[in-house]
Structures are given as structure tokens and as C-alpha cells.
Chains A and B, each alone.
Chain A
Amino acid sequence: MAEWYDTDDREHFMRGLTEVDERTQALVGVVFAQSGADTQTEILSGLEAEGRARIASEEDAPSPFFQQFRGLVLSGYYSSEIGLREELLYQPIPGRFDGCVDVSEVTRSVSDGN
């Protein structure tokens, strides 16, 4: 991240991380990582809802912290070996193309190669 984000994005992200701990401190007196699963869910749900409200109300606002963080988790996970090979349907060499097949129970999002 130090090398990918520009300075503004990085500061925005670090400020967001600090705020998560401050909010958890205010609520239960410990930092986020030490809090219980219920507290964590509560904090994240709050952040997500605020983020969604901001996206809806302001055009061109920087991606709110929660959405920024979740975007990183998503692209990190789905570009990892486990995310690609085990979570998604991994088909490096499909061998053929069929434009219309049944979605079966086992079918999963196909890795798009990215």
C-alpha cells in the first residue's frame, strides 16, 4: 500500500484505521483487534452505513474508509492463490467456449484472469 496509494489516499486510509480504534475504544474501552466479534460487527456495520450514505449524498467524494478497506480486501483476496484457486472456479485453460450452460450447484464465480 505504501507504494500503490498516492499520499492523499494513504493518509485517508491511515486516518480511517485510527478512527476504527478510537470508536471501539469509546464503545468498549479496547482497540478493535482486541474487541469481541459482536462489537466488531457493530463498528463495521456503522461505518458501512455511514459510507453508503456519503456515497449517495456526495458526488465525487473520496471512497469512504469502509468501502476503501473492503475494496482492498476483495481485490487482495480474489487475486490470492487461495481466493483464485479455491474460492473461485479456477480454469486456467478452459479448452472451449460455450455461451450457454446451466448454472449448477457447484458453479462459482469464475476468476476473470485478473
Chain B
Amino acid sequence: MPRQEHYDAIVVGSGITGGWAAKELTERGLRTLVLEAGRSIDPENDYVMTTQPWELPFRGRRDRIKQERERPIQRECYACDEWSEKFFVRDDENPYTTEDGKPFLWIRSRQVGGRSIVWGRQVYRLSDLDFEANARDGFGVDWPIRYADIEPWYDHVERFIGVSGQAEGLAQLPDSKFLPPMSLNCAEQHVRESLMSHFSGERVLTIGRCAILTANHGGRRACHYCGTCERGCTTHSYFSSLAATLPAAAVTGRMTLRPHSVVHSVIYDPTSGRASGVRVIDAETQETLEFHGRVVFLCASALESTRILLHSATERWPDGLANSSGQLGHNLMDHTMGGGAQGNISGMDDKWVYGRRPNGIYLPRFRNVSEQHPDFLRGYAYQGGGSRIGWARGNDMPGFGADFKHALRAPGPWQFRFYGFGECLPRESNQVTLDPDRVDAWGIPVLNIHCEWSDNEKAALNDMSIQAAEMLEAAGASEVNTFIEDNPPGLTIHEMGTARMGRDPATSVLNGWNQSWDVPNLFVTDGACMTSSANQNPSLTYMALTARAVDYAVKQIADGEL
């Protein structure tokens, strides 16, 4: 008989959504156990913000041979560099399988704080254009909620995490509760103004909306613009669960955080029809443990939460716990990325920037907002920005020696780049299943991931590149080059779906409160719940849905329903 412990609530995962679940549950009085598969992170020792390149063996150019061995997939992520690779999983311990020729790059962190330590911090609200999308064109099922349902929870989350940005009053991208915006640089300001007049206000270039403090906020310090966030921020200026939600949960005195706790499965009690707790493998001792709770929140990231459910099959649900609909594992989505263009902006060579802004520009969706595009459904948005390239242009410049070196002291020309991120349609054929032949380092079956872009995504990617060039030309840019990158799904790191919310238990896994239709005390509040993908970076929506689900669960408990 394994050792047993009882709590009011169990949260699986301590990343962006697990941190929020922990904070909200404990603040509402529940004794909460947070189970985290990875190790603890100590900002004092683990963050490498102040490590200089000359202090690293490969000067920041990465130990290629070691990465090839330990992180052949994670290294495809820009942030998995010589400083920060330790914040990403080892692929040899955490394998998964795909079909030949159909890659899916699954980029993950296993540690207290999850991916909130290395994330890009871009945060955008969804709008009714997104919540109504499936109902409008018939792909996927209808979202069970609308913007009005989530709006107060966006407010709630933003007030706590701190979001800097500029209000623009756009219906397709509702404004957040903003701290002061970071400034656009001169090239970006010029492009913004050109687009405003050229596209009569339809294409609005705005400063990126990001979970980075531009003023001291909630006991955390304003950003000092060092620009290397992925290495960890010792002043806690960007939002991470480690910096903000987990400390808030800890001060309640009601959180127990247990690292090295790999959740193996959810325990289902057929007599009560509820989840009685979870089974855990201690990552250090390989011991099997059981923890019991009144409600269980799965926040292990979209595919890990789904993997736990698939692995918790029972007699009643042989294809995965809470899977009456048969939809568990299906409708996997990620955003496309990498259609765009870049060009040079002249006439401001006497201007430059001071400081390293950890943020770029955003150009919200303008396609299929008021009229239907003939080639594709849904939309895309751009990130990117203006910059003056530094010494790195020496690689393409003729020359060597002293004159060459002096020339590289001055900044190069202003360049501007639009880089698109596109919506992905929900399709049943994009799915994850358990691979019967392979287990991870803890003996748990791994996922087989099948995901492909459809023609709709490809058509939008193509349009991103054409429109980016058109906008650069409207802004008078020279040497405009277009590009369409061929990025496999996964690499945008917005993987979502696989346990979707819906209005009908026959076609969805979760109801409008992120609650399992089949097992009422089981909630899934990470990206697995997403019914459609929209084109905005999704984590803000995951956080808002998590806080909203906790509020509902706690009220249900108080009413004696749970």
C-alpha cells in the first residue's frame, strides 16, 4: 500500500497555469498540494542573467555536441542557448514519437516555474472574433464561452501580473489593463505613421503587449532593460510563476509544493464517480506515492495533461479517463510562424536607441475581420520591429583589419522586419495517442504526436509574406526581402487543444468551466482546453481560464456540489 496524504486540492504542474491555480485556490482557503515533475529553481544560483559570454566555455555559441546528444529537439528553440539550455528538458529522458517525415517539435521545461522562466512574455486578449470563429465557419465545435465571460478574468490576471502596452481600442484585440507602454523606436514610429495613413487606420502597428513591468508593481521591480530575459530575471521584472504566483500562494501558508513528483495517472473511484487523487512517481527515488484531494487541477501543459488522462484509462473509459466524447487527444493545434519580410529604412541614420528593450512590435490581425479573404479562413498577426544591426554585419561585409574594425563600431542601417504568426484550424486528424512501445525515464508511456499544417495555414503563411512586403513598401523601405519559413508544428510553442471545451458532452471533453463532463471534480485549465487557437499568443488566456475555473470550483464546493 503506497503512502497516502490528503489535501483540499491537488494541482499538477507549477508552470504558468499551475502557478495561477495554486495562487487562486490557496487564497480562497483551500489547502493545496502542487505536484511538479521537475526540480526546484533558486533564482540566486540558477539564473544566469549576469553571466558574461567570456565566462562560458563556448562564449554563448552553445556546446553543439552536447546539445546534439541531450537536447536535439529543444535546441531548435531560440532560447535554448548556452545560458538557458538547463531550463529545457533533456530529450533523452523525455522522448516522444512522430511519423517519419512529419515532425512535431515539442519544446518543454520540467522545473518549478515550468516554461514561465523562459517564455517570450507576449500577452494578448482574444476577442469575440475568436470565440465565435468555430461557430461561424464550422471548423471544430463552438466555444462554450464568449468574450464577456472571460473579460473580468483577463482584468483580474493582468492586474496581478502587470502588462505593459498601448491602448488602441481595436475590437479584434481588446485592450488590457495596461502599465505604461515601452516606446517604439524611430523606425517603428515611422512605419506606424506610414501604415496609419496608407491603410486608413485598418493596420495598426503598436508596441508589443508584454508581461514586463514598466513601473514597480505588486512588490516587483520595474525592468532595467538588460534585454536577456531568457536567462532569468533576478529583479522579477517579468512575470513568471516563480516570481509572482507561487510566492503569493506560499504566503497563504496553505500551499505544499512538491518538486520531483512525476504524476503518473489520476485515480478514479468508480463508487463515487470522482477522481480521488493522483498517483506519483518520485523522480529521485522512483518510489510510487498516492495523494488524495477533493478537486484535481491538471496544469501540466496541454500535451502532458492529455497524456496523464490517456494514461489513466479505466474500465469505463478504456481510451483515456473522462473520454466519453472520444475527443481526448484530438484537435491538436499550434500557430504557424515565419511568413514575413524585411527591409531597410533610410533617413534616420543619426538616430539610435538607448537600452535593450525586451519587446518588439505587434501588428494585430486585419485579415477576415470585416470581409472574407478568398484564399483562407481566420487570420494572422505580426511581431518584429526595427533595429540597427551591430558587429554581426561584419560577416557579410567586405574587408578585415583595423579599418574594418572601426567601421563596425558604428551601428549599421535601420532594418525593419515583420514576422507573422497565424491561426491553425482545429482538425480531428491532428492528434496525440500513447505509444505502446516506448516509455520515458520514469516508465510512463510516451506520446505519439501526429500533426500537419493544412492548406489553410499555408495560404495564410503565404499572404503574411506578401502583405509584409506591401507594408514595408508603403513605409518607403528599400531592399525589401520576403520570406516564408518552413517551420514544423510545435516550434511556435503554442501547442494546444486535445481536451477541448464545448457545449455538448458528446463532442467535447470539458464544459464551459474547464470541468470534465465525466468526472466533475477534475479540471483541465492549461492549453489542452482550447477550442480554437486564434492567432494571439495564448498564455494570458490560459491564465484567465484557470482563475475563472478555480472561482467556479470553489463556489461549487461551498454549495456542496463538489
Q: Which A positions have Cβ atoms within 8 angstroms of B?
A: 3-4, 6, 41, 44, 48, 52, 67, 70-71, 74-76, 78-81, 84, 87-88, 91-103, 107-114
Contacts and interface: CB of A to CB of B under 8 A. Distances in A.
22 contacts: A3-B63, A4-B58, A4-B65, A74-B391, A74-B392, A76-B59, A79-B53, A79-B61, A81-B52, A84-B52, A95-B224, A96-B224, A97-B225, A98-B183, A98-B353, A100-B185, A100-B351, A102-B352, A107-B410, A110-B356, A110-B411, A113-B227
Contacts of A101: 351-354
B411 A113 contact: no
Interface residues of B, number: 46
B411 A103 contact: yes
Contacts of B556: none
Nearest to B354: A98
Contacts of A98: 183, 353-355
B212 to A, nearest CB: 11
Given A79-B53, A79-B59, A102-B351, A97 B398 contact: no
Interface of B: 50, 52-54, 58-61, 63-65, 182-186, 188-189, 224-228, 349-357, 390-392, 394-395, 398-401, 405, 408-411
A114 B60 contact: yes
A113 B394 contact: no
A103 B349 contact: yes
B63 A100 contact: no
A103 B352 contact: yes
A114 B228 CA distance: 9
Contacts of A100: 183, 185-186, 189, 351-353
B350 A112 contact: no
A94 B53 CA distance: 18
A81 B52 CA distance: 8
A97 B356 contact: yes
A113 B60 CA distance: 10
A16 B59 CA distance: 23
Given A44-B400, A74-B391, A109-B409, A99 B189 contact: yes
The 5 closest A-B CB pairs, nearest first, are: A94-B355, A99-B185, A97-B355, A79-B53, A109-B390
A99 B188 contact: yes
A111 B391 CA distance: 9
A70 B228 CA distance: 26
B215 to A, nearest CB: 12
A113 B61 contact: no
Nearest to B66: A3
Given A79-B53, A92-B50, A97-B356, A52 B398 contact: yes
Given A79-B53, A103-B352, A110-B390, A94 B65 contact: no
A97 B350 contact: no
A99 B184 contact: yes
Contact of B354 (A3, A67, A97, A113): A97
Given A95-B225, A101-B354, A114-B60, 9 more contacts: A78-B391, A81-B54, A97-B183, A98-B353, A102-B352, A107-B352, A108-B410, A109-B408, A113-B226
B391 A88 contact: yes
Q: Which of A6, A48, A76, A98 has the most CB of B within 10 A?
A: A98
B355 A3 contact: no
Contacts of B186: 99-100
